Amino acid sequence: MPAVPLSVLDLVPVPSGSTAADAVRDTVDLARRAEAAGYHRYWFAEHHLNPGVAGASPAVAIALVAAATGRIRLGSAGVQLAHRTALATVEEFGLIDALHPGRLDLGLGRSGPQLLAEYARREPVTTPPPANGLPVPAAPRVLAAERVALAAELLHQPGARTPDYARQVADVLALLAGTYRSTGDVAVRAVPGEGAAVQVWVLGSSAGLSAAVAGAHGLRFAANYHISPGSVLETVAAYRAAFVPSAELDRPHVAVSADVVVAPTDAEARRLAAGYPAWVRGIRSARGPIPYPSPAEADGLTWTDDERALVADRVTTQVVGSPATAVARLRQLRDATGADELVITTITHDHRDRVRSYELLAEAWGTAP
């Protein structure tokens, strides 16, 4: 298969010893450098109640980076619709598109109560067989459900109920197209927003509702291998099976995410990635999220066997190594999933190492504009 475009997924990470303000400045710098290196898109995730992540508002981050860049597409990966309305989302992105037309990707994701019920219904997982050698380890039972529920409570207005995700996506599309009508058959106009040249994406980590909704509307779909590696193959397959051609797309279009750290040598890359297991442990366990630790701090941490098992799927599927090692692993991911694009998320303690990782990968992959 030919090379596919590479893009960036930025969580706006906060390393230990730094501040959210430092993280935002580093993000603007990285976006400029990613554009110069030839990356296709620059996406922002939405996270809350995490001292190690400053990316609480994709729309605000996009507006900041749009003013500092000129070509690279900018988007959300994704807006958490559980605590937002379709109208507010369309208006925000329409406002940014008014000044930066034709550059925006509106990635729509599920969150909070929309996912907790699904997690509760899941059967115990087993390790699926590898595909073309691609690691697809079984996902553990994540222990942080109470924290997710608390975030949902704090983000919702008092007494608000979680909207139906499929209806929200349909409303977003109708508001952008100018075809929205209420249940009482009242037409409304989302200005700004209506007519905005925004690409709508759906993000998903399972072969459930997100994949089905994306396919039914003929939308682009991003599968979260970096979050849920064990389900990526069935997730992509479910989207393709559900796909119905639309005015925008005549065939399925899939982006797949990967967590990557690149350095001149495999040994140095492993050292730079040393803080990743502890960072994931904090997100997934009762310990709670932490700022991203340095390699030295990571070396001093203690672990139980259960904690190592809790993060094993993420650690074993993180792409860590020299440019040649990383390219080989990413080609494997591309071939196994049939991805049309790959989205790279990289976190290191030192911003300079993070920039270098993206630049080394871009050079080895051949992304030069």
Q: Write out pLDDT tens, residues 291-323.
A: 999 999 999 999 999 999 999 999 999 999 999
* 30 located within any domain: yes
Q: Amino acid letter at 269?
A: A
Residue 178 sits in a domain of what CATH number? 3.20.20.30
Q: What is the pLDDT of residues 128-165, one digit of tens each?
A: 555 567 877 877 766 556 777 777 788 888 888 888 99
Q: Are 81 and 109 in contact (CB under 8 A)?
A: yes
Closest CA to 77 of 119, 113, 41, 23: 41
* 271 located within any domain: yes
* 361 located within any domain: yes
Its pTM stands at: 0.93
For the chain, how far is it from start to end, CA to CA, in angstroms?
A: 20
Query: Does residue 118 register a pLDDT over 70?
Result: no
The Cα–Cα gap between 180 and 174 comes to: 5
* 356 located within any domain: yes
Query: Does residue 207 register a pLDDT over 70?
Result: yes
What b/e readout covers 208-233, taking b as 16+ CB neighbours within 10 angstroms?
bbbbbbbbbbbbbbbbbbbbbbbbbb
Instruction: Tally the domains of the chain.
Output: 1
Q: Are 337 and 232 in contact (CB under 8 A)?
A: yes
* 336 located within any domain: yes
* 234 located within any domain: yes
* Distances from the Cα of 2 to the Cα of 80, 334, 335, angstroms: 33, 10, 10
| Tokens 């911003």 sit on residue | 351
Query: Which pLDDT does position 92 carry in this prediction?
Result: 97
Q: Which helix (H) or strand (E) holds 221?
A: strand 220-223
Residue 198's CB is within 10 A of a number of other CB atoms, namely 21
Q: What is the pLDDT of residues 341-353, one digit of tens each?
A: 999 999 999 999 9
Domain that holds residue 157: 6-365
Q: What is the mean pLDDT of residues 233-256?
A: 97
104-109 vs 220-223, strand pairing mode: unpaired
* 1 located within any domain: no
* 332 located within any domain: yes
